[in-house]
Amino acid sequence: MRDYGSVDILWLDGGWIRPDSTINDEVRSWGYDISKWEQDIEMPGIARMARRYQPGLLIVDRSVHWPYENYRTPEQSIPSE
């Protein structure tokens, strides 16, 4: 995050890799083989580290709703908000 100049967006495109507490019916409906073990990548720590070097950074932890979903990138649908 500090050797590439200004970085605008941190894109994490692996929404099936998530804390167990966020696995719900929506996630199960995707049909992915969800691990039997916890897959928490510790997003608060990643966000803190990244924003230390890139304060205005937008983060998308794709399909893991809130608080590290600064914007949504839907597939095959248009969200109501």
Domain boundaries, the chain: 1-76
pLDDT for 78: 73
Q: Average pLDDT of 60-81?
A: 72
Radius of gyration of the chain (CA): 14
**Tokens linked to 30:** 């995707």
- pLDDT at residue 66 tops 80: no
What pLDDT, on the 0 to 100 scale, is given for residue 61? 74
9 contacts 62 by C-beta, under 8 angstroms: no
**Which letter, b or e, does each residue of 11-37 get, where b requires 16 or more Cβ atoms within 10 Å of its Cβ?**
ebeebbebeeeeeeeebeeeeeeeeee
Residue of 32 and 56 predicted with greater confidence: 56
Which two tokens mark 66?
A: 């809130």
Q: For residue range 13-46, what is the model confidence (pLDDT) as tens digits?
A: 766 677 788 888 887 888 877 778 888 788 889 8
Cβ atoms of residues 9 and 54 within 8 Å: no
